[in-house]
């Protein structure tokens, strides 16, 4: 896009991640590898936490290291925090770490993910005015037929969620569903990564044997 080159920095997985159940704390960011791809022409970094699909919540130390690099190189941060209300471990938002990091960060949120209404396709972005103004200029040309009544409903949801105890109830319900899934995986002997947030549970199904021809045709 606009002549940019996308470079990925993979997470370091646990050594026995393919054969044994692991914690997402065992998945780590190689900060030195991240440093090695930064240069004076690095305009933007995109970070997703809780990570999709791995479901890792980046630690404060990891976020601070990333933020420090971006400040040093004046690199804009796109913080994809659409699952920020569905974290099962203590979590920090990138933009809250320091004024310098806030000044470079555009935080992406999703009412659809937060309130389980993904088909509504309603999201939002928060950041310093000097960055948001460019997003707003592009937004008015690429978004059409936005569902205004649903947008109004989501604003009301956010206003009422705290007093209604929605955040805690939502988190508890999703953790309960997660536990039901991993109980089955444990019974079947399937290794998985215990998620720290979000909707999904990464699991390895390679031990299961399926017929070459499905009886359903």
pLDDT in tens, 101-157: 999 999 999 998 999 988 888 999 999 999 999 999 888 777 777 788 999 999 999
Largest CA distance in the chain: 60
DSSP string, 107-126: EEEEHHHHTT-GGG--EEEE
Q: Does the reported pTM lie above 0.85?
A: yes
Q: Are strands 44-48 and 123-126 parallel, antiparallel or unpaired?
A: unpaired
DSSP β-ladder status, 76-80 and 44-48: parallel
**pLDDT at residue 185, as a whole number:** 92
What are the average pLDDT values for consecutive 10-residue runs of the chain, which has 217 residues? 82 78 82 92 94 89 96 97 92 97 97 89 94 90 80 93 93 93 92 88 84 67
Identify the helix (H) or strand (E) that includes residue 76: strand 76-80
- For 35, 107, 117, 179, 188, the CA distances from 55, given in Å and listed in that order, are 23, 18, 20, 15, 22
Identify the structural domains of the chain with CATH numbers, from first to last: 22-194 (3.40.640.10)
């Amino acid at each position: 896009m606009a002549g940019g080159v996308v470079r990925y920095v993979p997470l370091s997985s646990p050594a026995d991640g393919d054969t044994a159940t692991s914690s997402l704390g065992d998945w780590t960011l190689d900060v030195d590898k991240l440093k090695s791809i930064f240069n004076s022409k690095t305009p933007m970094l995109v970070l997703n936490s809780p990570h999709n699909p791995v479901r890792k919540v980046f630690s404060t130390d990891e976020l601070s290291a990333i933020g420090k690099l971006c400040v040093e190189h004046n690199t804009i941060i796109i913080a994809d925090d659409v699952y920020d209300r569905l974290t099962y471990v203590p979590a920090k938002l990138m933009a809250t770490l320091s004024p310098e990091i806030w000044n470079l960060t555009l935080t992406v949120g999703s009412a659809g993910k937060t309130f389980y209404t993904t088909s509504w396709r309603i999201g939002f972005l928060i950041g310093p005015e000097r960055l948001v103004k460019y997003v707003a200029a592009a937004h008015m040309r690429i978004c059409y037929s936005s569902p205004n009544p649903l947008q109004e409903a989501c604003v009301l949801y956010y206003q009422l969620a705290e007093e209604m105890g929605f955040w805690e109830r939502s988190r508890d319900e999703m953790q309960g569903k997660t536990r039901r899934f991993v109980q089955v995986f444990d019974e079947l002997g399937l290794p998985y990564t215990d998620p720290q947030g979000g909707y999904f549970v990464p699991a390895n199904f390679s031990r299961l044997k399926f017929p070459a021809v499905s009886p359903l045709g």
